[in-house]
Structure 1
Amino acid sequence: MEKLKLDDFIRYKFLSNIIHSLNGEKVCFTVNEADLDSNKYLSNIWIYYNEDNTYRQLTSSNEDKMFLWLGDNETILFSSLRDLKDKEKVKEGEVFTQFYKISINGGEAKKAFRISKKVTSIKQIDDNTYIFTARFNLYNKELDKLSEEERNLELKTQKEEKDYEILDEIPFWSNGVGFTNKSRNRLYIYNVLTNSYNLITDDFTNVSSVNLNDKKDKVIFIGQSFENKMELENSIYVYDLLKQTIEKVETPYTVMHGYANFIDDNKIVYIGKDMVKYGMNENSKFYILDVKEQKTTCITPDLDCNLTNSVGSDCRYGISPASSIQKSGDNIYFISTEGEYSYLNRLNMNGEIEKLTSNNGSVDDFSVNDNRDILFIGLRDTKLQEIYLLKDNKEHQISEFNQWVKETKSIIKPEKITVETSNNIFIDGWIIRPVDFQEDRKYPAILDIHGGPKTAYGEVFYHEMQYWANEGYVVFFCNPRGSDGKGNNFADIRGKYGTIDYDDIMKFTDVVLEKYTFIDKDKVGVTGGSYGGFMTNWIIGHTDRFKAAASQRSISNWISKFGTTDIGYYFNHDQIGATPWDNQEKLWDHSPLKYAHRAKTPTLFIHSEEDYRCWLVEGIQMFTALKYHNVEARLCMFRGENHELSRSGKPKHRIRRLKEITDWFDKYLK
């Protein structure tokens, strides 16, 4: 077997967006891959044929992503920037989405229509009508509604206005999007024959989770309306396409909704939570609303798990959380995170849940069509993403996009360890031995801490961990309290950041170093991103046991994070339990920066210039503190990147990031 190389991820195939045709006979999905020459990701649509279990590439422009099946079951509508003239117009600042049609039976893609908006989702109502969502800034004018002279003037004005940012609401920016002040994801209806669209929602409502009823005469969506400050609460709305009216759906037991759909003309199924007991990280439950009787019933009162996949990996691209819940026939299919795995489940309207997949990794995306065979994209065992068929309660791998990794590279299966860290509190963790392991040798080790904190590690493929194991490191990691997978009580660390979670991680480290005597206790490093970056910063201020640290996209000061990041003003209040005005001392007590003067550990800081989730100032403050106190420190800042650098950053930047971290550990641990 060959050793896994730092840049091998360039050759991985990342799968996403798997969707059945309306009759269920065929399936399309997106294949994404990194390209070093262009320093971006190439995306094309592929097709899978149920009848003979074969698949082939359908499009080839490397620019093809969002798509849907049209009603004839033979045609795909997709968005793309394959035309050079279109690319130039985008460079000049014009905003639009160009749609193409392609037959699955062969032939070239043909232009279908263009919408003068940045379309974020689209669904077909009939041959000539579509419902779509698109981002629009209230400070901009509708270009397609202007004369050519007015349009050119508006484009010129918008270009000049790029030198300024006007902020009059919070949040005013969003990670991965940029400045979002007065920008909303709005709902529109588009007519192909007239090449025109009409706005359905108002100027200040942000729209998500859009679904059509079976007759396609009503639309249900989640809406969040605000003008000055976005709150966590949102609402469910129904738009009647015939009457052209919107009605708000009253849901008395919940204030945060994540999904809604029609069961029939009189009933709605949705998920929601009231956040009273566990705050914003509380797990949602399924509800059914009888519209006529205005009666809401929780059909899963005992369900206590995250209704999406939160098992971490750095080997996914293009997966949308919106696809984690889907309705098919009379059932709801959903992904759940339980323990270190994510599962696909089937829920009937009586609240009965059937687990469809096994303890074998993660389910990343899936597609179901009227109770036919189910297809899903998953990370199974220590393999990279592939497509699997669920048939007769068994999983059958049908793709081999990444089979070469398993067959040619040295991949080590993580060994599970369960540790009692407090009275009757058990946490799960894992250790990856180095490639070519020898019992009589001593090895350096890296403790890797996940983000969130409400996510989870599992046994799925993690490129950076497997690479470090190939470079002669022991890698160990765990799910401390605050992690996902073990219910609300386990995940609830509000007001306790840096206390019980830190104790869990340190106790786990103690057990690992005691049990695995081949680890050199004097050559152990620590790293983590986001919450893991916070914990890395916290650790170096509370212990000197680690020889080196690499803090990534971190949090160092809850006071500054409160007022500068896209989620700070509500996340900090909810999770730390204070604001700068009612209890500044508590925010400071939980801030790693308070303890930075104690740090002695050489620390590398990795941060992205456009990370608005954990803004650059968080890394700079900690870096400055260490330098001020004469501790070895280095900061590597990536321009043009955001909070997702390690998972979907530009390929060259992902290579540099992993090289920076590995070189830092090599310097101090080898």
Structure 2
Amino acid sequence: MKKLITEEDIAALVSVTDPQYAPDGKRAAYVQTKVNQEQDSYSSAIMMYDADTGTSSRWTYGEKKNTSPRWSPDGRRLAFVSDRDGGVPQLFIMNAGGGEAEKAADIPWGVSDPIWSPDGKSVLLSVSLTSSERADDQEKKKRNEFEPVDIQTLTYKRDGKGLLKGSWTQLVLVNLETGNLQQLTDHEADHYDAAFSPNGEWLVFTANLTDQGDASKPSDVYLMELKSGRLKQITPYSGSFGSCAFSPDGSYIAMLGHENEYRNATLEKAWLYDMKNERLSCLTDMLDVHLSDALIADSLIGGVTPRPVWTNDGQGFYVLGTEQGSTGIYYISIDGLAYPIRLEDEYVNGFTFHPDQKSYIAVIAKPSWPSELYCIPLGEGEEKQLTAANDRFVGEHIISVPENLQYETKDGLTVNGWFLKPARFEENKTYPLILYIHGGPHMMYGHTYFHEFQVLAAQGYAVVYVNPRGSHGYGQDFVNRVRGDYGGGDYRDVIQAVDEAVQAYPFIDRERLGVTGGSYGGFMTNWIVGQTDRFKAAVTQRSISNWFSFHGVSDIGYFFTDWQLGHDLFEETDKLWERSPVKYASQVTTPLLILHGERDDRCPIEQAEQLFTALKKLNKTTAFVRFPGAAHELSRSGHPKQRMKRLNYIYSWFDQYL
């Protein structure tokens, strides 16, 4: 008999990510991640799929994290990053024929994002360094955690990292023959999304080199001539660009980005830089699709969004796109032709093309099946599931299948979402309903397995979750509609979701309604309980309660508040207060549980503290749970035991009041 899904089943899920075909197409490396319960962390292994046998084998062992497998140009070696040696991620090289991996360099600050040079002699790495540190520093001085932090810029902290202490991501080249390190960049800025030209003469990367220290400023793409170190900016100082890839002959650079027309609500577009004519052009002005992954899920650990993948003839490239609750793969030609080659009711997180480009391997999670690898022909033919990492989990558990929900708003918008029945649904019973609101707000729920919703369904709850205005996946106008109207049209959209669900499913007990959400969804939960007494229980997570203070304490608050609320901090303080849920604490009658991570720098815990204090002073029914060390991503990639306890707190609160 199949079992109900529980919070502990987080440890049973396997995350399959980052596939990489070998140059000969006979094998594909990928990463498999699962919970390490003893160490309350995650373990990642490099796996190898053999196309001839149709089987996978493990290439790295132990309980550490082994990630980012990357083939050398000749296919004879595999580079990857591992924390097996002392807990700091380092670059390792393994022969494709097997054997022990060898550490390529000793960089005490850790490394990430390995990229092979075209000649296969070197590997480019990203390293976080302060202005006084060099990657090739032989003294390798240990950082003093008690040293005072001198802050000169607005970007002094980052969620998940804490205080940056003056460190920036620099690009470092490791010569595999000599072991020598060459630091290619040293600006006080993060350098990322690097790529070599096919002839090895140029390096392209993204950085903000004109207004360092302000994350709200544009990010531009730069060309570096490796021989001289000369830099050339190839994008206008007007937006955010990155994810670059050279065409096979080096004539073009494909990239993704936008010109900030709608601030952080702007859709990612595909761009082309002509190396010979030094001209940048947008290829997808007419495509109303966000060319990135904006789908929210909680069962995929370590997903890697691929940069553009060129066709062998250099006439176009493939990218991910977010549309209508799905992510798929889009083809973009250098002439501006754009269309999806794969867009199903599923979540495509990554892909790698076979060298002959007649097929590709994709990481796909489906509504009732967590991530696996699938081989998909480019044309006629059937897809084939290559891995069975989650077969046992799916076979042993009751998984509630989401049903589509769509409705029209009074102002003429179409809102899409899903409804999840209780796992052991019985026709003649009534059930409580939970409205779950996503964060962002410029993200998207979609056609994917969502563990948290399955846990709630297993506890006997129906769940409704929708993409209100402001969500990605439904075009530029839709995603921009929330800006300047928080708590307005978006509030009406999610409340209507409840109305639609109650009407469509008579078994819902309209007297037992709950609401929850995190980040922007936490803000909306706070807003809802201050505006209506319709819900009998609520749980707010990593939320915003006071826009005025959020402006100064969040790692993005100083620009996010301006961009999203549209009110000046100094001249329109009253308007920020009008949109702050804490103002309406006296109107709250719904029992409210407040969950927050203590190291959340995106929505700092003082937001929860303010709300809890206000409600307690007013003798409201509330409780406050703090998660030590937890950052903003607690629910998706935080410590496994904290994730489990968090789920238990949520459904226990609903059990008590619903």
State the TM-score, normalizing by the size of structure 2: 0.94
2:539 is the alignment partner of 1:550: yes
Partner of 2:410: 422
C-alpha spacing 1:612/1:413, structure 2 compared with 1 (3 Å): same
What is the CA-CA distance between 1:163 and the residue it aligns to? 5.1
2:17 is the alignment partner of 1:16: yes
Q: Alignment partner for residue 121 of structure 1, among 109, 113, 120?
A: 113
Alignment of 1:311-330 (within 5 A): 311-321=295-305, 323=306, 325-329=308-312, 330=314
What is the CA-CA distance between 1:144 and the residue it aligns to? 5.0
* 1:159-188 alpha-carbon deviations (Å, 9 max, x no partner): 2x5253322211210011111142211122
Q: Distance in 2 between matches of 1:7 and 1:402?
A: 15
What is the CA-CA distance between 1:228 and the residue it aligns to? 4.5
What is the CA-CA distance between 1:385 and the residue it aligns to? 0.6
8 Å Cα contact 1:273-1:284 kept in structure 2: yes
Partner of 1:272: 257
Partner of 2:613: 624
Q: Alignment partner for residue 209 of structure 1, among 169, 193, 197?
A: 193
Structure 1 unaligned spans of 5+ = 91-96
2:386 is the alignment partner of 1:398: yes
- Residue identity in the other structure for 1:170: L
What is the CA-CA distance between 1:521 and the residue it aligns to? 1.3
What is the CA-CA distance between 1:381 and the residue it aligns to? 3.7
Q: Distance in 2 between matches of 1:409 and 1:231?
A: 45
Q: Distance in 1 between matches of 2:122 and 2:307?
A: 26
What is the CA-CA distance between 1:250 and the residue it aligns to? 4.2
* 1:550-576 alpha-carbon deviations (Å, 9 max, x no partner): 000101111111111111111111111
Structure 1 stretch 601-610 or stretch 587-596: which is displaced more?
587-596
What is the CA-CA distance between 1:430 and the residue it aligns to? 1.6
- Residue identity in the other structure for 1:431: F
* 1:449-486 alpha-carbon deviations (Å, 9 max, x no partner): 11111111123211111111111111111111111110
Q: Distance in 2 between matches of 1:192 and 1:603?
A: 57
Partner of 2:100: 108
Alignment of 1:455-470 (within 5 A): 455-470=443-458
Q: Alignment partner for residue 601 of structure 2, among 607, 612, 629?
A: 612
Q: Distance in 1 between matches of 2:307 and 2:611?
A: 37
Partner of 1:259: 243
Q: Distance in 2 between matches of 1:182 and 1:163?
A: 12
C-alpha spacing 1:440/1:181, structure 2 compared with 1 (3 Å): same
- Residue identity in the other structure for 1:555: I
Q: Distance in 1 between matches of 2:135 and 2:116?
A: 24
Q: Distance in 2 between matches of 1:101 and 1:131?
A: 13
Partner of 2:636: 647
Alignment of 1:43-82 (within 5 A): 43-63=44-64, 64-82=66-84
What is the CA-CA distance between 1:313 and the residue it aligns to? 1.4
8 Å Cα contact 2:235-2:280 kept in structure 1: no
Partner of 2:370: 384
What is the CA-CA distance between 1:369 and the residue it aligns to? 4.2
Q: Name the SS for the 1:384 alignment partner.
A: strand
Partner of 2:127: 134
Q: Name the SS for the 2:609 alignment partner.
A: helix
C-alpha spacing 1:4/1:250, structure 2 compared with 1 (3 Å): closer
Q: Alignment partner for residue 563 of structure 1, among 538, 552, 558?
A: 552
Q: Distance in 2 between matches of 1:510 and 1:302?
A: 35
Partner of 1:94: none
What is the CA-CA distance between 1:372 and the residue it aligns to? 4.1
What is the CA-CA distance between 1:107 and the residue it aligns to? 2.4
C-alpha spacing 1:609/1:132, structure 2 compared with 1 (3 Å): same
Q: Distance in 2 between matches of 1:15 and 1:309?
A: 16
Q: Alignment partner for residue 491 of structure 1, among 474, 479, 484?
A: 479
Alignment of 1:421-460 (within 5 A): 421-460=409-448
Q: After the TM superposition, which segments of 4 or more aligned residues of structure 1 sit over 6 Å from their partners?
A: none
- Residue identity in the other structure for 1:378: I
8 Å Cα contact 1:413-1:459 kept in structure 2: no
How many residue pairs align between the two structures?
A: 647
8 Å Cα contact 2:317-2:332 kept in structure 1: yes
Q: Alignment partner for residue 173 of structure 1, among 133, 145, 157?
A: 157
State the TM-score, normalizing by the size of structure 1: 0.93
Q: Distance in 1 between matches of 2:383 and 2:329?
A: 12
8 Å Cα contact 1:445-1:525 kept in structure 2: yes
Partner of 1:240: 225
- Residue identity in the other structure for 2:187: D
Q: Distance in 2 between matches of 1:478 and 1:145?
A: 52
8 Å Cα contact 1:47-1:55 kept in structure 2: yes
Q: Distance in 1 between matches of 2:507 and 2:523?
A: 29
Q: Distance in 2 between matches of 1:557 and 1:578?
A: 14
Q: Distance in 2 between matches of 1:238 and 1:8?
A: 47
Q: Name the SS for the 2:78 alignment partner.
A: strand
Structure 1 stretch 65-74 or stretch 410-419: which is displaced more?
65-74
- Residue identity in the other structure for 1:561: F
C-alpha spacing 1:667/1:554, structure 2 compared with 1 (3 Å): same
What is the CA-CA distance between 1:305 and the residue it aligns to? 1.7
Partner of 1:338: 323
